[in-house]
Amino acid sequence: MREFSATDLGNKTGDVLAAASQEPVAIARHGKPRFVMLTTEAFEHMKRSLDPRVARRTADIPEDEGAALVAELERMVQDDA
């Protein structure tokens, strides 16, 4: 992740925005990263990815997630036995 200072954000806004259009960039204040700038699309994707409440039809569950779900359910059944 590229890093820009808060001063860069003020003085080189175009450069910062150009970089943020390619990947998230860190904005540092007093030498420490404090903020992240990213595209709206990346932000929306991140929000959707972080929400654990996902409803799917069983036919649409990816194979690796389905296997993990079955393994966890079997573990829970064994623990209750």
Q: What is the pLDDT of residues 21-52, one digit of tens each?
A: 999 999 999 999 999 999 999 998 888 887 77
What's the token pair of residue 3? 């890093």
What's the token pair of residue 70? 């079955």
What's the token pair of residue 63? 């194979």
> pTM for the complete prediction?
0.58
Distance linking the first and last C-alpha atoms of the chain: 49
